[in-house]
Structure 1
Amino acid sequence: MADRADDLLIYREAVSQYLERLEDAERRRLTRSLAFQLRRSQQQRIRAQKAPDGSPWPKRKPRKDQKPASRAIRFLYRKGSGDERLVDMRSWVRKGNMLTGFDREAEGLRTFRADRIARHLPAEGGADPGPIAGAIKARKGSVRRKAQTMFTGLRTAKHMKAGSTMDEAYVEFTSRASRLARIHHFGLKDRVVPDGPETQYPQRELLGFSQADDEAAMELVYAHMEGRL
C-alpha cells in the first residue's frame, strides 16, 4: 500500500511539472476540458441521487406523510422550450395569472403561469377536480415527457456552470439557483411557502470531488500527454 501511495505521488508530481511547461493557451484548453468533464460527473451523480462518496441521498418522505394545506393539483406544464413536464403542487396560492406553491416533482417552491397549463390531471387518489379558472385547454399533438427526478432543473447547464482559468477548473451554480442548491446541499431550513412554517431539509450533497473525479482528471491529463486530446 505504501509503494502504491509513493508511485501515485511521483505520478502527480510528474503531471504537475507537465502542466507547468504548457503554453498558457494550451493550459486553458486543458482546464476547460477538465471543467466540462467535472460538470458531467456532477450531473450524473445528481441524477443517480448519490453523495460524492457514493452513498445514497436520504429518501423522500412518503407522500402519504405529506399533508397538503390546500387542495392538491396536478397538471402538465408547457415550458418555454415547448416540452411539457408534470407538476404536483401542494400549499399553493394564485395571484392573477401566477400559481405559487410546493412542487413535489421538483421538491421545492415553484411559480407557474396558469396560461401555460397544457392539461389538468386528477390528484392522486381522487377524481379530476377540473381546470383552474383561467387556464387554457390542452393543445393538440403528442405530449413529450421525461422521467422526473429530484433537482432536474439544477443539474442542467443553465443552472450548473462549468468554468476555468489558466490554473483551475471549477463547477458552480448560478446566482439564481445557488440559494436553493445551498439549502439542500447543507441540509438547512427553509419555508415551503412564503410566510409559512419552516421545514428542515435533509442534507443532499449536490457538488463534490470524488475519487472517481480525481482518477478521471488524471486520465484526461494523461491523454493530453499522449497526444490523444
Structure 2
Amino acid sequence: MSHDLTALEQWAGALLAQLEPSARSKVNQLVAQDLRRNQQQRIKAQQTPEGAAYTPRKPRKDLRGKKGRIKKQKSAMFTKLRTATHLKIKSEAGEISVGFFGRVARIARVHQFGLKDRVARNGPEVQYAERPLLGFSHADRELIKDSLLRHVDQGIKK
C-alpha cells in the first residue's frame, strides 16, 4: 500500500509542479474537500476503509426512560464527529491532510485503534471496539487521481 501512495505522490507531484503556487494550493484545497466528503460518506454508512461494517454498539440497559417509555434504540455512531466542524482539512502547497484535530482527536483515536477510555468523567473505564474512522482504500486513491485531474483541468481552462 505504501508503494501505491508513493507512486500516487510522485505522479501528483509532477502534475502539480507545472502549476503556479496559488493555483497549486487551490487545487490541493479542492482535492482535500473531495477526500473529506468521501470520508464523511463512508463514516455515515458506518463502514471501515476496507468496506466492512463497524462493530455495533453494546446494547444499553437503561432504555426505559420516564414512566415506562422506551427510548429509541438505534442511532448512527459519529454523527457529530463526521461534520466539517470536526473533520478538518489542512492544506498547504506541498501537502494536504484530512483528519481530526484538537480535543476531538482523542475520541477519534480511541475508536480508530480500539483503546480503553472512560465513558464519563468519573465513570468506568471501557475497552472500545476498533472502528477505523479514517484510512485509504483503493477507491480513495482513485478519487484523489480523478479529483486532481478534474481540478487541474478546470484550472487550465480558466
Normalised by the length of structure 2, the TM-score is 0.80
Q: Please give the per-residue CA displacement for 1:149-181, whole angstroms capped at 9, x wherever unaligned.
A: 111010011111112000111112131211111
After TM superposition, the structure 1 = structure 2 runs for residues 1-229 of structure 1, keeping only pairs within 5 Å, are 15-61=12-58, 63=59, 66-68=60-62, 72-73=64-65, 122-124=69-71, 148-227=75-154
Following TM superposition, by how much is the alpha carbon of 1:48 offset from its aligned partner in structure 2, in angstroms?
Answer: 0.6
Aligned counterparts of 1:179 and 1:73: Cα–Cα separation in 2: 30
**Structure 2 residue identity aligned to 1:227:** Q
Deviation at 1:225, TM superposition (A): 4.2
Q: Is the 8 A contact 2:27 2:152 kept in 1?
A: no
Cα distance in 2 for partners of 1:156, 1:13 equals 31
Which structure would you say has the larger Rg?
A: 1
Counterpart of 1:227 in 2: which secondary structure?
helix
Cα offset for 1:16?
Answer: 3.0
Unpaired segments ≥5 residues, structure 2: 1-6
1:162 aligned counterpart, secondary structure = strand
Aligned-pair identity in percent equals 40
Aligned residues: 149
Deviations 1:73-122 (A, max 9, x none): 47xxxxxxxxxxxxxxxxxxxxxxxxxxxxxxxxxxxxxxxxxxxxx992
Change over 3 Å in CA distance of 1:189–1:13 after alignment to 2: closer
Higher helix share: 2
SS in 2 for 1:226: helix
Structure 2 counterpart SS, 1:195: coil
For structure 1, the 5+ residue unaligned runs are: 1-8, 75-119, 126-146
Quick one: distance in 2 between partners of 1:204 and 1:14? 31
Tell me by how many angstroms 1:216 deviates: 1.0
Give the aligned residue type for 2:101: T
CA RMSD of aligned residues (A): 2.8
Maintained 8 Å contact 2:30/2:151: no
C-alpha deviation, 1:60, in angstroms: 2.1
Query: Would you say the 8 A contact 2:89–2:99 is kept in 1?
Result: yes
Letter in 2 for 1:164: S
